[in-house]
A = this chain, B = another copy of it.
């Protein structure tokens, strides 16, 4: 199995440097993000999970311990994954895959998970979950972990997108990078029609995946508001992804 596995893993890593496979992955990740938000909506807010009066919160405990388990299983050897609490992760049990780094080293370590978790807890959870407390804290925390990891993976994908765009036409980006011109880079990375198409598509996905599917046709009650998902993408997720891209490019010539 060994050799064959290595080659296939190489193909997987190559796919992270191909604009069309990145696009497909981003589209597929939309499903994951929407599924995870729908799953979070099964539980009420359960605010005791987030209570920091006896700091740290139960959620924080849960995330740190879960990341430790996943680190041992090798999650953070993948360039796609960024831990929320990266400071004291245990080593993976299996030797990490040997391959040429996909990303430029100084940009690879960009991690804006602190921004992601704040927005998720302060803004998204109260919009997605109903008021109340059913006591199912561990099950709720597991859905929070899934949401956070899906959002984090999507947003940090900006690193791969930036790397590929830079490799495709370094001459377009180099002057702005050298001038540390964040605004100029942001302009180069912004395609309004593409962003509008994404917002429309995720709204449609939230309608499709969040409907009550029965044997009869039914009205339009959605588990997570489609407009909320579209707005989350437009106001927060796409801008943060572009923020990651700009930060990555700024370090690309280090």
Q: How far is the CB of A219 from chain B (nearest CB, A)?
A: 15
Q: Is A93 an interface residue (CB 8 A)?
A: yes
Q: A133-B9, A134-B12 are in contact. Are A139 and B69 (CB under 8 A)?
A: no
In the bound complex, how far is the Cα of B13 from the Cα of A125, in angstroms? 23
Q: Are A93 and B61 in contact (CB-based, < 8 A)? A: yes
Within 8 A of B (CB), among A28-77: 28, 31-32, 35, 38-39, 42, 44, 47-48, 58, 61-62, 65-66, 69-75
Per-residue interface assignment for chain A, residues 67 to 100, with 1 indicating a CB less than 8 Å from any chain B CB and 0 otherwise: 0011111110010110000000000011001000
Q: Are A139 and B208 in contact (CB-based, < 8 A)? A: no
Q: Are B61 and A73 in contact (CB-based, < 8 A)? A: yes
- When all copies of this chain in the complex are counted, the total is 2
Chain B residues positioned under 8 Å from A135 (CB to CB): 5, 8-9, 12, 78, 97
Q: A47-B1, A139-B75 are in contact. Are A133 and B69 (CB under 8 A)?
A: no
Chain B residues positioned under 8 Å from A101 (CB to CB): none
Q: A66-B69, A94-B58 are in contact. Are A137 and B32 (CB under 8 A)?
A: no
Q: How far is the CB of A132 from chain B (nearest CB, A)?
A: 5
Q: Are A38 and B31 in contact (CB-based, < 8 A)? A: yes
In the bound complex, how far is the Cα of B62 from the Cα of A93, in angstroms? 11
Q: How far is the CB of A48 from chain B (nearest CB, A)?
A: 7
Q: Are B62 and A69 in contact (CB-based, < 8 A)? A: yes
Within 8 A of B (CB), among A95-150: 97, 132-139, 141-142, 146, 149
Chain B residues positioned under 8 Å from A65 (CB to CB): 69, 72
Q: A201-B215, A209-B209 are in contact. Are A28 and B1 (CB under 8 A)?
A: no
Instruction: Tell me the nearest residue of chain B to A4, going by C-beta.
Output: B133
In the bound complex, how far is the Cα of B70 from the Cα of A47, in angstroms? 17
Q: Is A180 an interface residue (CB 8 A)?
A: no
Q: Are B209 and A204 in contact (CB-based, < 8 A)? A: no
Instruction: Tell me the nearest residue of chain B to A5, going by C-beta.
Output: B133
Q: Which residues of A contact B (CB under 8 A)?
A: 1, 4-5, 8-9, 11-12, 28, 31-32, 35, 38-39, 42, 44, 47-48, 58, 61-62, 65-66, 69-75, 78, 80-81, 93-94, 97, 132-139, 141-142, 146, 149, 197, 200-201, 204-205, 208-209, 211, 213-215
Name 7 A/B residue pairs within 8 A (Cβ), A-sorted: A1-B48, A11-B134, A35-B39, A58-B73, A58-B93, A74-B138, A146-B146
